[in-house]
Amino acid sequence: EDQVTQSPEALRLQEGESSSLNCSYTVSGLRGLFWYRQDPGKGPEFLFTLYSAGEEKEKERLKATLTKKESFLHITAPKPEDSATYLCAVQASGNAGNMLTFGGGTRLMVKP
């Protein structure tokens, strides 16, 4: 069974204090790993897709990396507007179609 575990569940940072969120996964075969951001009361907003170990992608203060067992979302010098829940999801090669298996998310709070 495909499993995705995110840690920590919640993270409080001061503005400018860099940190990393972890996403550990167990899948039969990885087609893609996705990072989303979700604000309260809204749908998840797409951030990155990673396909193979060693791959990295960046967007503003965010950088996502991928190994064979986990992915990290690095947040550099965060701002209060980065506060949100960050979700990690995988697509497994054993599943037909676009089914995503999600982790529980990391709730990030950035204080000014």
103 is a contact residue toward another protein (CB under 8 A): yes
Cα separation, 4 vs 55, in Å, equals 19
Residue 89 in contact with another protein, rule: CB under 8 A: yes
- Per-position x/- string for 16-55, each x denoting binding to another protein as judged by CB under 8 A, each - no binding: ---------------xx-x-x----xxxxxx--x-x----
Closer of 7 and 18 to another protein (Cβ)? 7
C-alpha to C-alpha distances, 112 to 14, 53, 108, nearest whole angstrom: 6, 35, 13
Q: How far is CA 103 from CA 2, 54, 64, in A?
A: 10, 21, 16
Rank residues 16 and 104 by Cβ distance to another protein and give the closer one. Answer: 104
Which residues lie near another protein (CB under 8 A)? 31-32, 34, 36, 41-46, 49, 51, 87, 89, 91, 93, 95-105
